[in-house]
Structure 1
Amino acid sequence: MNDSTPIDTARLPLLLNELRLPTVARLWPDFTARADKEGWPAARLLTVLTELEIAERAQRRIQRHLQEARLPPGKTLDAFDFASVPTLSKAHVLALAAGDSWLDKGSNLLAFGPPGSGKSHLAAALGYALVEQGYRVLFTRTTDLLQRLQVARQELGLAAAIEKLDKYDLLVLDDFSYVHKNQAETSVLFELIAARYERRSLFITANAAFGAWDALFPDKAMTVAAIDRLVHHAVIFEMNVESYRRRTAIARTKPNRDTSAPIEAVAPATIDQEP
């Protein structure tokens, strides 16, 4: 083909769709016109179009992962009031939001505190940030997930159901303390914890700290074994502050009252025990 041979571009949209390049299919007329006008080399035009395709493909993937993550809306790091939870290091949380090494080795995050202290918001906010970094996250109430796993066990598919959860780099188990103390529910919970140990990360939010976990598991040995697996390579957030919802309600009804000072709490700890 020489320079004078006419080029049939009518089939190009069909070819690009066949190759699953929707961004190139949408943008090529504008960019080829610009390239002709400005005298771009062919390699530059091809590079620009493929970079745009890759960028938009990444954005579509993030949107899909955000939908499947089931994160509560609006609970982002930008919306989190770090000043109301002085036990949290903002710099530390932002470092965790980047993912990388702690997810690679299956480390866990554990947040303890009374209702309204921001545990679920923190977990969801980290979830949003990690999805934007390319990770996969699932946010779920602990009891809801355990009910699904119990159904899977009854249908002899528990191992397969837990294995399917491996696609999530981070599994957020919200309201962990509301698990019912019965053999069926706590046994599938223990199997989930054991299956993800040092492989995939968990973020657990709970009103009750470890000392009250005997109320969750049917026997002492299972309680100790579950805690041992969770805290090995873990970051623990102690969020023992006054309920944000309560403080907000008081501020609305009594605007002259100073409710900004939270109750002092224990600083967050990082646990990295030897097996």
Structure 2
Amino acid sequence: MSVTNTVDAARLNLLLNELRLPAIKVLWAQFAEQSDKEGWPAGRFLATIAEHEIAERGRRRTERHLVEARLPTGKTFDSFDFEAVPMISKAQVMALAGDSWLGKGANLLLFGPPGGGKSHLAAAIGLALIENGWRVLFTRTTDLVQKLQLARRELNLEAAINRLDRFDLLILDDLAYVTKDQAETSVLFELISARYERRSMLITANQPFGEWNRVFPDPAMTWPLSIASFITPPSSR
């Protein structure tokens, strides 16, 4: 007699709903039938459906993380023309998709002139890290600074920065477009300080680190980054 014929399917589905096991709810009958025909031990049947549930949860989690990351579409390692910019080491860039630097709370700076592919590489790195289970947020630096300034005016800056803690990596694109305005640079400094050695940041910029006085009027404002760990690919051109 088939296992599915001896089980109250409706009741089992209700139980699986209660336990929040949607993948098992969809697949249990199929694998129960296969288990019945092939004489699987109970442990194999349970392990099989549990593995599918875990895999499905991972897929849904990755989907959620991709949505919240706000990555620009189509920016992958495969779509980047490494031959057009031979001064960039493909092996080095691909290695950044590993998570060793994130685990240390290190930071990554990508320097180069406009149009050199910094944003593309940053997004591709972010995508690879999401696929490896990390949470990432990609944002233009100016957009994030404006949001933090609004939070400060509403006396909510600390809470706004704390909410960003859920992201293992913040990708701040185009630092150069932040002005030397004290209000802008101070909230950016507070964000950098709050994440220092705890959560990683990837920053793209047109100017090298030594010229960041164009963004931060007070040299002391760069200290959380200046003593952080850097992995800096060469200029794209």
TM-score between the two structures when normalised by the length of structure 2: 0.93
Taking the TM superposition and a 5 Å limit, the aligned residue runs for 1:162-173 are 162-173=161-172
The match for 2:21 is 21
The match for 1:239 is 235
The match for 1:200 is 199
Structure 2: segments with no counterpart, 5+ residues: none
The match for 1:228 is 226
Q: Please state how far the C-alpha of 1:97 moved relative to its aligned partner.
A: 0.3
Determine whether 1:79 maps to 2:75. Answer: no
The match for 1:214 is 213
The match for 2:70 is 70
1:234 partner amino acid: F
Distance 2:136 2:73 in 1: 14
Distance 1:62 1:220 in 2: 39
Is the deviation greater in 17-26 or in 159-168? 159-168
Which whole-Å deviations, capped at 9, do the CAs of 1:153-203 have from their partners, x for residues lacking one? 111111111111111111000011000111110000111111111111111
2:231 partner amino acid: V
Which whole-Å deviations, capped at 9, do the CAs of 1:41-100 have from their partners, x for residues lacking one? 11111110000000010000000000000000010111111122222222222222021x
SS of residue paired to 2:105: coil
SS of residue paired to 1:110: strand
The match for 2:142 is 143
Q: 1:205 to 1:7 in 2, by over 3 A?
A: closer
RMSD (Å), alpha carbons: 1.7
Contact 2:172 2:201 in 1 (8 A): yes
Which whole-Å deviations, capped at 9, do the CAs of 1:116-169 have from their partners, x for residues lacking one? 100000000000000000000000000000000011111111111111111111
SS of residue paired to 2:233: strand
Question: Which has the larger helix fraction?
Answer: 2
Distance 1:176 1:110 in 2: 10
Q: 1:29 to 1:57 in 2, by over 3 A?
A: same
Structure 1: segments with no counterpart, 5+ residues: 242-275
Distance 2:172 2:45 in 1: 47
Distance 2:224 2:44 in 1: 56
SS of residue paired to 2:10: coil
Distance 1:95 1:153 in 2: 37
2:117 partner amino acid: G
Contact 2:93 2:233 in 1 (8 A): no
The match for 1:107 is 106
Distance 1:220 1:62 in 2: 39
Determine whether 1:154 maps to 2:147. Answer: no
Contact 1:71 1:139 in 2 (8 A): yes
Q: 1:233 to 1:207 in 2, by over 3 A?
A: same
Distance 1:84 1:226 in 2: 34
Q: Percent identity?
A: 63
2:68 partner amino acid: E
Distance 1:198 1:86 in 2: 32
Q: How many residues align?
A: 234
Distance 2:32 2:225 in 1: 60
SS of residue paired to 2:108: strand
